[in-house]
Structure 1
Amino acid sequence: MGVQQLYQKVTDDIIREIEAGNLPPWLQPWKQGRRGGIIPINAVTRNCYNGLNVLMLWAERQEKQYPLAEWLTYKQCQEAGGQVRKGEKSTPGIYVNKQVIEKGTEDEWLVPFMRQFNVFNLSQCDGLDHIADAGKMVELPEHERNEQAEAFFAAIGAEVRWGEPMAAYIPSRDMIVMPERGAFRNAESLYATWAHESAHWTGAKHRLDRDLKSRFDQDAYAFEELVAEISSAMTCAHLQVKGELRHASYCQSWLEVLRKDSRAILSAASLASKATDYLRAFSEEKREAA
């Protein structure tokens, strides 16, 4: 089967499954657990910090050269059986939420509010080795690795930071972040996720310059996710990676985009094929040069 026929088959399968409307829900392809990467997380709840807190904790970690991106409050430290070392200073964070204000018996409105909270890096605490040990890197067993897929992604040469609490492409750093290999439910989920984030990587301005704002406006993010997921399916088909990857289930989250534009799926498939071709070229160029 030729490359374009392969792409078309993947696209047709996705369209058919979306239209059937009986798809299972998307499942996170990695297990929850401790991480040791650059995205700030709470050492106890394992939730990622967001908004301005990411930048504040990033900056503080870089300045103080903390080895871990894990933080917790003084109370959380004590409840976990640890103690903040004497003289250590906390780092402020900002909590943003909305409070319901009632007026009479019928009217009510939401009033936004902010409050400061303080956290300590895990490195500032004693007695929490049991938490720190849980953050050690886990590798995918050698016998589960797909040599063809490993060579494919290695040839691309994108910077990948392993050990994060999430999978994402960070445009500002031109970097892909991924959970550790051993956190994935299986090898197929690992390679499908890697292909998805690699597809996002291709859209950077100095690569394919995939700017979707002009056509999809506020739906540009959703459409970019659709492109990346279809490209992931195409890449996995090219690599002959099998398994229940549930690409179509993920695409179902973006049905609103498809309802607004009947040709959106065709546009997404076209852009996805370009992204996959871009990724494939790295391996093919090396083979030709050999």
Structure 2
Amino acid sequence: MKKTNSQSRKSQQGTRPSNKAASKTSLYQQITDKLLAQMEKGVIPWKRPWKILDNGMAEVPTNYVTKKSYRGINLMLLSCNAYSRPYYMTYRQAQSQGGQVKKGEKGHLVVFYKTLTQQQESGKDKILFWERPSVVFNIDQIEGIDFRQPDLLIGQPDQTLLNERCEAVYQNFPAPPRLVNQQLDRAFYQRSTDVVNMPPVQAFTTPAMYYSVLFHELTHATGHTNRLNRDDLGAGAMGSQSYSREELTAELGAAFLGAVCGINQQDQAIQIQTASYLKGYMRALKDDVTLFYKASQQAQKAVDHILNRSYETVPQPEENDVAESV
């Protein structure tokens, strides 16, 4: 039987989740299911073995066409995939570059925002946004394009330069919390005094561990009323949903900042510390399917505040006329 043109196109596009399937399972549930599947294997989605580029930055999931790195929940979702290089495209982007998704390949879930500007009675515009699922494909799933990728770092990163980049994070933090070394055996953020206490770097097994802990506490500090005024900061007892969400926000914020600086997330000390909290996060995720999504959104806002840049709600690489619905 001869295939119709529409059938031929469908067979060439690879497998994508259907609209019917997406309607049966909420977007948050899809996100949670994917992340829990990794965590149940002992894999920490936000502590992935990112390679280091020759410019010293971590090679995080990036849209090949726009050259923009994925952010927030999309960074986490795509970091779960085991490809040789983390570059992605939508189906339409692949076509626009003269390529084609290989037959039978499955797309990977990402989320982008649609916006609507609504004028209020006061005359001021209010921007409303909502999430939409989309799919992207890794360049290993695409044929017909001569992909050119950034060079990777040969050898080990320069520790001095790495330390300088990490120190610059705190130095560039607008109106940062005060950094003290009053208690040498524990790191914490105290909201009432707006102080981050850090043991000296010599107290940590590696510099990477020191800066990861510092970034964790700095992320907490962004929740202060004079900054992002995050409701979860100090709102709940240990084990509560608000406590879990705030701790996960700080964990993700530390990982995002580490990627900016080029910290090796596979540092053994970092992995051991995070693994101790893994079961607690898994329980919290099973109780609230929105937890990881909300925490990743809060973490991205925190990182943007620390780095003194505007939080972007819209410009995900999939949206600009190349988005494809799940």
Q: TM-score range by the shorter chain?
A: 0.3 to 0.5
The structure in which a higher percent of residues are helix is 1
TM-score (norm 2): 0.43
Higher RCO (Cα < 8 Å, 6 or more apart):
2
* Higher Cα radius of gyration: 1
TM-score (norm 1): 0.48
